[in-house]
Structure 1
């Protein structure tokens, strides 16, 4: 029974990523930037690793289909909120990242409550959005960890994160509206 394979390696890696989230946030709060950066890189690498293992060795489970994105969202949302609270990034970016996820999750819940179940399948724009959010967070943490100057790339990256978050939200909401109208 694939659903209850909590002990499968990809699921254990996703659980490990979830466990890293409070550690990373604590390190950010303590301004221990190098350690936060290293833990974040480990968490990011674990995301790629668990997906590769699940696909390559056919270890995909229904639990993993929920656990992996949950770990991703917990990591991204927490990092952006922590970076905003420590005044490393503008609060508006953190609010946008969090609001996007809350709206998508809210739409999914409404679909289930109205018995119009929606299949959970990430869109290409969403995957790009997640990649850019992770890369931006890694860059910001590396700037803080190694004292690199924030140049023009920082502002360009902020706009890229904001633009992709909005584009991804628009794509999901458009899909959800079509689904709910059918």
Structure 2
């Protein structure tokens, strides 16, 4: 049996993830002061980094447990704070923000409950969840582009709200199904 290869925590993919977290307050500040062009550029960069860091880690074979935990935290910080700020500014409907945050809370509560029940549950990103993240990022980029460049994309934004809500619900239901089937399969420890 070969010894497990040591992976340094501060590899390039993890540094990119940490940089995404560091961008969050700057993005929120830009939105707060109405600099939607800066918000658009920085959020687009942060959104791209969400896909790039994981791809790079797989390509370089530098995946770490630290990165596996940090990446979803960075995603939640970026998405929740940006959605909330855009909602407070009246640029994303409150119902959509509640839906996005409720899905994430459902997943967190589900994992906590399973562990409390003595069940061994591991949540891996499902394909529908990756699509959900992509649509959430694209929606923010669309809204910020509309605000930064005064594109008047109200109809497109409305369609994007509905599409994002639909995939968000599908993702929540997929995780709920995964949770229920996992709970029912495993005996209590």
Q: With the length of structure 2 as denominator, give the TM-score of the two structures.
A: 0.91
Alpha-carbon distance in structure 2 between the residues aligned to 1:47 and 1:178: 29
Unaligned residue ranges in structure 2 (runs of 5+): none
Indicate conservation of the 8 Å contact 1:10/1:50, yes or no. yes
User: Are residue 12 (structure 1) and residue 15 (structure 2) matched?
Assistant: yes
User: Which of structures 1 and 2 has the bigger CA Rg?
Assistant: 2
Once the two structures are superposed, residues 22-54 of structure 1 have per-residue CA deviations (whole angstroms, 9 ceiling, x without a partner) of: 111111111110111111011012112211210
Measured against aligned partners, the alpha-carbon deviations of 1:59-112 in whole angstroms (never above 9, x if no partner) come to 000111111111111111111111100001111111110111011111111122
1:105-152 per-residue CA deviation (whole Å, 9 max, x = no partner) reads 111111222221211211111111110110011000111111110232
Q: 1:9: how far off?
A: 1.1
For structure 1, list consecutive stretches of 5 or more residues without a partner in the other structure: none
Pair 1:45-2:59 in alignment: no
In structure 1, the partner of 2:102 is 99
The alignment of Structure 1 onto Structure 2 pairs a total of residues equal to: 182
Partner of 2:156 in structure 1?
A: 153
Q: Under a length normalisation based on structure 1, what TM-score does the superposition of the two structures give?
A: 0.95
In the TM superposition, residue 4 of structure 1 has moved relative to its aligned partner by 6.9
Deviation at 1:6, TM superposition (A): 2.2
RMSD, aligned CA: 1.4
